Amino acid sequence: MSLRTWLIEISYLVASVLFILGLRGMSRPESARRGMHMAEIGMLLAIVGTLVQREIISYEWIIGGLLLGSTIGLAMGLWVPMTAMPQRTALSHAFGAFAASLVGISAYYLYGAKLGGFKTGALGFEVLLGSLTTTGSLLAFAKLQGLVRGTPIVYKGQNVFNLALLAVTVFCFLAVLFYPGVQPFFYLMLVLAFAFGILLVLPIGAADMPVVIALLNSYAGLASAATGMVIGNNVLVIAGTLDGGSGFILSIVMCRAMNRSIRNVLFGAFGGVTDTSAAGTDGQMREVTFDDVAVQLAYARQAVFVPGYGMATAQAQHALRELGETLENRGVTVKYAIHPVAGRMPGHMNVLLAEANVPYSQLYELEHINPEFPSTDVAVVVGANDVVNPDARDNPKSIIAGMPILEVDRAKSVVVVKRGQGKGFSGLVNPLFFKPNCGMLYGDAKDSLSQLLQAVREA
């Protein structure tokens, strides 16, 4: 083995180990940053190992792509706000999947049937998953960015048509596998996969975006693993498999957090329901003032903040952290309750609160914080709706029945910071807002928390 080959293999081995350690580190908030740095170093080693191989024909295009990609990545890192991380993540999935598809398309164009049965199958799988992930991720980005309406877009016979399209696409894939020299099957599969990616995400509402993003991440990873098989790159196989496996597991975790199946997410059009009946929604919502809430918080023993998508859109995480610190200085125990599907991507609330320098030790997951609500003096819900809806627990006929929720209604007092009396993405009126221990503080989350902070200081 030559020195060059030895160095390449060592760089790939170290990169693979760092990917695994990085993924393990990102499983917990306190080690997530260290895990990300490990993954970054691993990717750098993988790139360096690839660039010193003899197969590289021209470095000019590689250097040009490296400079262009680095410039775009740096600009996105500096200018994309933390509240837009779901959209940026969806774009990253689209770019990665499209890169995998281009590798497969070029390999088939250059070699075709010469690749052999195994590589042809991996190539077809790569292009199939990569293509549908590209268009699906772009549509997810458009929905999250507001370029396309976030509610499900459905039409009669949609599921039947989508399944028929998928069947034809899989047939073309099998035809490529058994008859690799017949090019029309390959290019028809390519076009149908692009179309299926759009139709797959079209009926999915914004409430299901955490699951969709995780699932698309899984598809992009599997496409990358197949790319590694085609071009004989072991580190790409390992990284893609890790990405695909973790994305799929995360999709299952997100579905369990909503008490739904992946099949129901993909074909159930959640968020487009017309039945909005809910138990316990008689009466009026009770509006409270900043002074009332400030007195409750200032003299509480324990306060729990529940962030939601409304906090993200208002970019209120810094104001929330300032309010929490002010209460701590008054001797109040402050905790943050995090629901797995709050926001628009897995870990959305964790990312925003970390960006505002909220201590990791104050972040509590659903199963750990729920037992503490009965002893909590004040629970402050900031822009969350469905994840605190007691209908999921109390009404077996509800469309969200069985979905695990943050049981804020069990707290001694609940304050909901909300723009208005709108419904959640489930389309349900939240009976929490009508409970006698709940008060509504209407207004933009950032402005409301800033005014509440001032009122607490004066209390």
Active site residues: 386
d(CA 51, CA 360): 39
Helix axes of 445-458 and 317-329: crossing angle, nearest 10 degrees:
20
The token duo for 264 is 């129901």
Q: What is the DSSP letter of 53?
A: S
358 three-state secondary structure: coil
- Quick count: other Cβ atoms within 10 Å of Cβ 357? 10
Q: How far is residue 323 from each of residues 80, 178, 210, 298, 316, measured CA to CA in Å?
A: 25, 64, 28, 10, 11
320 three-state secondary structure: helix
Give me the residue label for tokens 């299952």: 252
Give me the residue label for tokens 């402005």: 447
d(CA 235, CA 233): 6
Name, in order, each residue with C-beta under 8 angstroms of 179's C-beta and a sequence gap of 6 or more.
185
379 three-state secondary structure: strand
Q: What is the DSSP letter of 147?
A: S
- Quick count: other Cβ atoms within 10 Å of Cβ 252? 14
- Is-contact 288 441, C-beta < 8 A? yes
